[in-house]
Chains A and B, each alone.
Chain A
Amino acid sequence: MNLLRKQQTRAVLAAALLLASSAASTAYAASWRVDPEKSKLGFSGIQTEVPFQGSFGRYSAAISFDPDHLDTSHISVTVDLASAATGDSQRDTALPGKEWFHTAEFPNATFESSAIRALGGNAYEADGNLTLRGVTRPLTLPFTLEIDGSVAQAKGRVELSRDAFGVGQGPWATGQWVALEVGVDIAITATRED
């Protein structure tokens, strides 16, 4: 069979399976529930040449993932930007403001994956779109994944330029006081929902 026929056949089979089963079967990517106690969605930056770390206290993720069915795997994350905390009262008061996250108008940031690729071993990459402060840009999130039974641990890090999203307006739009490059670190522990 040529490649196109193979793909079509597979699609028909998948559709048939879906119709035949009442619940998501193992042929489809399983749903995973993030354990907030064991997970962290962090970010890092540099302010006046001094590095700082922070994390988001409130976020939700809808993850359907199966290493054997990456084509039907999907990651969707919604982050409550007002929950950002860096341990510095002045910084934490400034972050939701109009010059930075502007949470009054843009309360959430979202990441929607469009494709997930296996890179070999336990390394993966999720292509997707990040929407932050009302601006949507493509973002590729590399991560490593360990699955032990029904528990998965994913660790990933991505650097992005905050000015692409308009985070940091006016005098903050240059890297003079706060570096334009910021890091996002994810460390997720999730349990497979059966």
Chain B
Amino acid sequence: MTRPHRSSRQYTLVAILLHWVMAAGIAILAIMGLVMVHVELAPARLFQIYQLHKSIGVTILLAAVLRLVWRLMHRPPPLPDTMQPLERTAAAGGHLALYFFLFALPMTGWALVSASVFSLPTVLYGVIPWPDLPVLPGLSDKAPVENLLKQVHAYGAYALIALVAVHAVAALRHHFILKDDVLTLMLPKRSGSRRRSTSAQTEGPSS
């Protein structure tokens, strides 16, 4: 019985890079968001953090576009044979939800900035101008729209944080409890790492 080759069970390097870079970006954004809402800051500092949060947020949105295009062009490795149908559905659903938030959260952020009563232009990292969404800046009464979008963005962020936590815990479960290679698939290929892709203990030389 042939087992799938190690080389066919690996995410592409681009996918791996995008995954971890975006994970770091999202973690930073989440922390910044929580600080912006819950920590007393000097106005100048708060203002700076808002601008940086917008800059990183737009960067994540653009990376998400790249990510989606790449994903559509490169099928990820199949899930381990050992996974049950319910687990497979949960995994697929969870990943789909993550992709949804990768787009929805920056979009709601973009929308709330566009509807902001402050009408501050967005300049990414202080150098690259970024336009507002259409319609929103011209609304006659922006305050309630901005407030609604703020709520949506905030609750969406909490939902994403919860989803990421489940995602991370699930990956760790695969690695430490189920002892399969799901987590290592999303790590750069190393020789000598665990090679189990099924319940078989070791891979012998292929016959």
Map CB proximity to B onto A55-96 as digits: 1 under 8 Å, 0 otherwise. Answer: 000000000000000000000000000000000111001100
Task: Find out whether the CB atom of B44 lies under 8 angstroms from the CB atom of A50.
Answer: yes
A177 contacts across to B, CB distance below 8 A:
43, 47
Give the A interface residue count (CB, 8 A): 17
Residue B117 interfacial (CB < 8 Å): yes
Task: Find out whether the CB atom of A98 lies under 8 angstroms from the CB atom of B123.
Answer: no
A47 to B51, CA, bound (A): 14
Among residues of A, the one whose C-beta sits closest to the C-beta of B120 is A94
B129 contacts across to A, CB distance below 8 A:
89, 93
Q: Which residues of A contact B (CB under 8 A)?
A: 47-50, 88-90, 93-94, 97-99, 170-172, 176-177
A44 CB to closest chain B CB (Å) equals: 16
Map CB proximity to A onto B113-145 as digits: 1 under 8 Å, 0 otherwise. Answer: 000011111110011010000000000000000
B171 CB to closest chain A CB (Å) equals: 39
Among residues of B, the one whose C-beta sits closest to the C-beta of A49 is B44
Contact of A49 among B42, B51, B123 (CB under 8 A): B42
B44 contacts across to A, CB distance below 8 A:
47-50
B118 contacts across to A, CB distance below 8 A:
170-172
B51 contacts across to A, CB distance below 8 A:
90
A170 to B118, CA, bound (A): 8
B147 CB to closest chain A CB (Å) equals: 13
Q: Could you list 8 A-B pairs, sorted by A, with CB under 8 Å?
A: A48-B44, A49-B44, A90-B51, A93-B121, A98-B119, A170-B119, A176-B43, A177-B47
B42 contacts across to A, CB distance below 8 A:
48-49
Among residues of B, the one whose C-beta sits closest to the C-beta of A100 is B119
Task: Find out whether the CB atom of A90 lies under 8 angstroms from the CB atom of B117.
Answer: no
